[in-house]
């Protein structure tokens, strides 16, 4: 008896963009300037949503749009298609067909092995025949990347769990990787100056470029409109640069140079994972940054390789974690809010980047746990971090760098999930909410709520501590009942 697979039942209806398409937009792989072809578009929800947003998009589907032409585009999306094909050879042919249509990039996505927890059925071939009659081939994250790379003979890059990019041009791939490096700049004070204040709008593009790159732009690095506005305002780019340096502190620019050098080293170190490019394969702006700040690309590569090698030494990881000026220290790990990742020591940034090279960016994760006990990074999602004084953990993605595995844990159904205290400790020193969070922590300390840290790390343990102290938390304020019973 032959198993009949109902592939048409796998096409989902959705009101929002699919996860792979939304991820590609987030990463600027898909922009309004790129054409998109949705290979296996199902009911066409992404087609409608992208078109409504102003994107140039077409698509084909064997069931719902079989007569539509399969045509080339800058970016081709193969969204959750390969995992529903029960024939391994057809899977390969489908992937290659989609790649042939991709002018600049291919986005490939699949369900992962952790999705098996929500599926029921029986084994079929290398996958699962579900109760609804559909087929699912569930991949490990690393397995999916290897399969795409081996099938296409092209380097691939993890965009997110279950989502990979393959780029036609090395320049585009390196731009994507460079843009994933975390950026931090200290606050900038502008001295009063009449000419600057009169032309602040015209000077903003130049100031932004200098802050990001740690240098003045070369010809062609600012758009023509910005150059024209600056020239009209102060006479030339050179004069504008002199004016900006006049109203700002030299120490700020020294710090910018230090941060930009570190960012470039992190990028170069992590570029090892996908085959480090030659210097002439880099984009002009990226290459100019490296040449300006390091002199020789080879010298930068040597420094970056030393950083990457250091990430394999537990003692070096421990020393760098303990020297971090941001994050919450525990005996086994350093916890950091995602907004403060760029303030970590560069070696710790490379350590985290090694995990992201495997898992991709974990959307919605707002805390990162960098283990010092084993080579492992965890991406923790606390949906209420900004809203709740003591948010609870919803999920975690654990990347084990020794085993090269990516796993997911769900806490949303737990009756007693882990809970956070002292939120300010996860943040950078200049985070706008740090003072508010610190004020609550001091009040809770004075109330004796932290007297037994071994019991308050879960939701129920924390509620019991509040009851015992006869206090409550509203917003980010600690309240005590008044004589009449109302909180104060």
- Find the mean pLDDT for residues 445-457: 95
DSSP for 312-341, written as a single string = T-HHHHHHHHHT-SSSEE-SSEEEEEGGGG
Query: Do the strands 135-136 and 127-130 form a parallel or antiparallel pair, or are they unpaired?
Result: antiparallel
pLDDT at 267: 98
CA proximity to 355, closest of 424, 273, 268:
273
- How many Å apart are CA 431 and CA 427, to the nearest integer? 6
pLDDT at 1: 35
pLDDT at 481: 84
- Find the mean pLDDT for residues 399-418: 97
Neighbours of 55 (CB within 10 A): 20
DSSP for 414-435, written as a single string = -SS-BB---GGGGS-TT-TTHH
What six digits make up the tokens of 389? 């004084």
Provide CB contacts within 8 A for 386, sequence distance 6+. 433
Report whether pLDDT(364) > 60. yes
Q: How confident is the model at residue 486 (pLDDT cuts 50, 70, 90)?
A: low
**Is residue 2 packed enough to be buried (19+ CB in 10 Å), middle (13-18) or exposed (0-12)?**
exposed
- How many Å apart are CA 146 and CA 140, to the nearest integer? 10
- Find the mean pLDDT for residues 337-353: 98
Report whether pLDDT(8) > 60. no
- How many Å apart are CA 425 and CA 107, to the nearest integer? 37
SS3 content of the chain, % helix, strand, coil (to 5): 45, 20, 35
pLDDT tens-place string over residues 141-193: 999 999 999 999 999 999 999 999 999 999 999 999 999 999 999 999 999 99
Domain ranges of the chain: 7-180, 192-248, 433-479
- How many Å apart are CA 96 and CA 116, to the nearest integer? 27
Averaged confidence pLDDT in the chain: 95
- May I ask the CATH class of domain 7-180? alpha beta
pTM, 2 dp: 0.92
- Find the mean pLDDT for residues 424-453: 96
pLDDT tens-place string over residues 28-37: 999 999 999 9
Share of the chain above pLDDT 70, in %: 96
Helix (H, G, I), strand (E, B) or coil at 459: helix
pLDDT at 130: 87
- Find the mean pLDDT for residues 233-250: 96
């Amino acid at each position: 008896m032959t198993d009949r697979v109902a592939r048409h039942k796998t096409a989902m209806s959705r009101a929002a963009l699919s996860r792979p398409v939304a991820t590609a937009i987030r990463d600027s792989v898909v922009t309004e300037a790129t054409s998109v072809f949705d290979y296996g578009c199902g009911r066409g929800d992404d087609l409608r949503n992208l078109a409504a947003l102003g994107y140039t998009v077409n698509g084909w589907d064997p069931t719902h749009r079989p007569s539509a032409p399969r045509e080339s585009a800058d970016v081709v999306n193969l969204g959750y298609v390969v995992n529903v094909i029960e024939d391994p050879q057809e899977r390969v042919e489908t992937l290659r067909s989609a790649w042939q249509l991709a002018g600049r990039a291919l986005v490939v996505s699949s369900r992962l092995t952790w999705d098996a927890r929500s599926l029921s059925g029986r084994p079929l071939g290398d996958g699962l025949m579900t109760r609804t009659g559909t087929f699912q081939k569930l991949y490990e994250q690393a397995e999916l990347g290897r399969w795409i790379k081996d099938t296409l003979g092209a380097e691939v890059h993890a965009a997110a769990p279950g989502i990979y990019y393959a780029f036609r041009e090395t320049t585009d791939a390196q731009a994507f990787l460079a843009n994933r490096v975390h950026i931090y700049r200290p606050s900038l004070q502008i001295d009063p100056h009449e000419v600057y204040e009169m032309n602040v709008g015209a000077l903003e593009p130049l100031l932004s470029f200098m802050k990001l790159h740690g240098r003045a732009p070369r010809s062609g690095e600012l758009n023509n409109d910005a150059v024209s506005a600056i020239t009209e305002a102060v006479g030339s780019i050179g004069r504008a640069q002199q004016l900006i340096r006049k109203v700002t502190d030299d120490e700020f620019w020294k710090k910018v140079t230090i941060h930009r050098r570190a960012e470039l080293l992190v990028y170069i170190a992590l570029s090892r994972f996908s085959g480090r490019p030659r210097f002439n394969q880099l984009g002009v702006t990226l290459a100019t940054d490296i040449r300006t700040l390091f002199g020789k690309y080879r010298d930068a590569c040597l420094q970056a390789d030393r950083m990457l090698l250091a990430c394999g030494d537990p003692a070096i990881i421990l020393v760098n974690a303990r020297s971090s000026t941001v994050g919450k220290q525990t005996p086994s790990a350093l916890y950091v809010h995602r907004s403060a990742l760029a303030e970590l020591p560069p070696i710790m940034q490379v350590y985290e980047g090694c995990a992201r090279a495997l898992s991709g960016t974990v959307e919605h994760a707002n805390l990162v746990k960098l283990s010092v006990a084993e080579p492992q990074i965890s991406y923790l999602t606390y949906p209420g971090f900004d809203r709740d004084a003591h948010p609870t953990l919803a999920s975690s993605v654990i990347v084990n760098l020794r085993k090269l595995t990516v796993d997911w844990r769900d806490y949303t159904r737990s009756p007693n999930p882990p809970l956070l205290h002292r939120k300010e400790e996860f943040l950078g020193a200049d985070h706008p909410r740090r003072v508010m969070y610190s004020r609550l922590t001091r009040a809770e300390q004075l109330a004796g709520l932290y007297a037994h840290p071994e019991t308050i790390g879960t939701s129920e343990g924390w509620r019991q501590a509040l009851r015992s102290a006869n206090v409550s938390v509203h917003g980010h304020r600690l309240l005590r009942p008044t004589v009449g019973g109302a909180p104060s």
